[in-house]
Amino acid sequence: MVSQLPACKSTLQRVLLAGFVSHEPCVAECGEQPLAEDPLVFLAALERLGAEVTRTRGRIAWHAREKPRAARLELAENGTALRFLTAALAVAGGRFEVRGRTGLARRPVDSLVDCLTPHGVEFGFAETVGRVPFVLASPGLAAGVELRIPVASGTQAASGLLLGLAGGGGGRLVLTDAERVPGYVELTLDVLRRFGVACAVAPRASTVAITVPGGELHAPDALTIPVDASAATWVLAFAAASGRELSVPYDPSWPHPDESFVAHLRALGHEVSETEDVRRVRGRPGASDYRFDELGTAPDSFPPLVVALATRGGVHELSGAAKLRDKESDRIAVLAAGLAKIGFEVDELPDGLRLRGRPPSSFTPPAHVRFECAGDHRMAMAFSLLAAVYGFEAELSEPECVDKSWPGFHAWLASAAQSPAP
């Protein structure tokens, strides 16, 4: 079983923010693996906001005794921290300078600007409207405030607002252009439930209204953070693409949108089994067209699914993931360019890709391929997996960028690729 997967950064960052706005001492157990870069950036930001943070092996303790009123935040490439903290700090009030690396400027906060400025929140953008760096100045939002935000722009802003409202006077968040609660928002609601906050969810035609009570956020006993479901998709994708049998730790008590990746593998005919705490996948060869048009609900599944489909005969089309163009890179364009370099027939769609799969037994790629990863961890992972499956040498422009989500990825893949193939 792959035991070196990192703690789930989506879950952990929600737990960190919930604990921060609760102003109570909190503890999270994260296992013995090193944390990915994103949670470390988030923790550093909480310290800049005045929280007391203690890290020991596998354990994080943090406590924000008072509401911060001013700080300068350096968020590196962490888009989740950008949207979460911008939203939560706007709800609480204060003046904050928000900065990051060049890649973070690709991650817009336009939806938060449109949502919050009618309530007296001011944004001062230094270079480009809606992008870092900027200064946030907020008087704090009134208890019971109603906010509206489009889900199509992404769910991180909505999650940050929900956590911020729970830590303040409560309120109502209306998700527009939504018929149901998106998966990442459901994860946020699950974290709030663990902190004692029961939100009322009312779906209506094309909107979902979520009522958040104020004053009920309380730190639970130490929470055990599950392994990263997004990282696990790379292990499962390698099993599917290479025909190996691999297993990963599994905790069904925590929801995560990337759990949907398993449904894709089953639809493709791969063998999937689950016990109480382990998920196992054995890759099976196959050749049939595969089309899926709702990847916007789990965009991080897109790159590993492309890897799994690349090794399978047929013409495959994945769409519904236009937001991938605003990640650390334009993931649709970068993936298409990389696949073309290997020798795949691939078409770039406005919101996805169409490619013809090439089973490794009948396809010989170039011996050496240099990939431009655009500093994007998931692009580096995708190209590395393809190289391991097809047996060519991959030269990555920024191999270290995988640390953003899985610091041990390259070591794991080198070991997995040396295990006996079927």
Pair 227, 199: CB distance under 8 Å:
no
The one-digit pLDDT tens for each residue of the chain (422 residues) are 777 899 999 999 999 999 999 999 999 999 887 799 999 999 999 999 999 999 998 999 999 999 999 999 999 999 999 999 999 999 999 999 999 998 999 999 999 999 999 999 999 999 999 999 999 999 999 999 999 999 888 899 999 999 999 999 999 999 998 889 999 999 999 999 999 999 999 998 899 999 999 999 999 999 999 999 999 999 999 999 999 999 999 899 999 999 999 999 999 999 999 998 999 999 998 899 999 988 778 899 999 999 999 999 999 999 999 989 999 999 999 999 999 999 999 999 999 999 999 999 999 999 999 999 999 999 999 999 999 999 999 999 999 999 999 999 999 999 999 987 77
> Distance between CA atoms of 121 and 137, rounded to whole angstroms?
6
Instruction: Find the helix or strand (DSSP H, E) in which 22 lies.
Output: helix 9-22
Structure-block tokens of residue 97: 């300078």
The answer to whether 282 and 245 have CB atoms below 8 angstroms apart is yes
DSSP result, 368-395:
EEEE--TT-HHHHHHHHHHHHHHT-EEE
- Please tell me what DSSP assigns to residue 4: -
Q: What gap in Å lies between CA 201 and CA 208, rounded to an integer?
A: 7
Sign of CA dihedral 269, 332, 416, 263: negative
- Give which of 171, 140, 154 is closest to 80, Cα–Cα: 154
Bridge partners, 122 (sequence order): 137
Q: Residues 407, 6: contact at Cβ < 8 Å?
A: yes
Cα dihedral 386, 389, 394, 400, rounded to 10, equals 70
The β-bridge partners of 287 are 313
The SS3 assignment for 97 reads: strand
- The per-residue pLDDT for 183 is 94
CA distance 420 to 244: 8
Please list, residue by residue across 83-100, b when 16 or more beta carbons sit within 10 angstroms of its beta carbon and e when fewer do.
Answer: bbbbbbbbbbbbebbbbb
Question: Is the bond preceding 133 in cis, omega lying within 30 degrees of 0?
Answer: yes
Give the pLDDT score at 179: 86
Sheet of 245-249, strands arranged across: 245-249, 278-282, 271-274
Strands 59-63 and 26-29: antiparallel
CA distance 49 to 66: 9
Name which of 64, 132, 124 is nearest 92 in CA terms: 64
Q: Tokens representing 213?
A: 């009570």
Sequence-distant (6+) residues with CB within 8 A of 281 are 236, 239, 240, 245, 246, 247, 262, 265, 270, 271, 272
CA distance to 25, 136, 214, per residue, from 169 (Å): 20, 20, 4
H/E element, 176: strand 171-176
Range list of H helices, 49-155: 79-92, 110-116
**Tokens matching residue 236:** 């499962």
Structure tokens at 409: 């990825």
The one-letter amino acid code at 37 reads: E
Please give the model's pTM, rounded to 2 decimal places. Answer: 0.96
Measured CA to CA, the distance from residue 378 to residue 329 in angstroms comes to 9
| 357 in Cβ contact with 310 (< 8 Å) | yes
Domains along the sequence of the chain with CATH: 69-223 (3.65.10.10), 229-418 (3.65.10.10)
Detail the DSSP E strand segments found in 189-313: 200-204, 207-212, 223-224, 245-249, 271-274, 278-282, 290-292
Strand, coil or helix: what is 161? Answer: helix
| SS3 label, residue 280 | strand
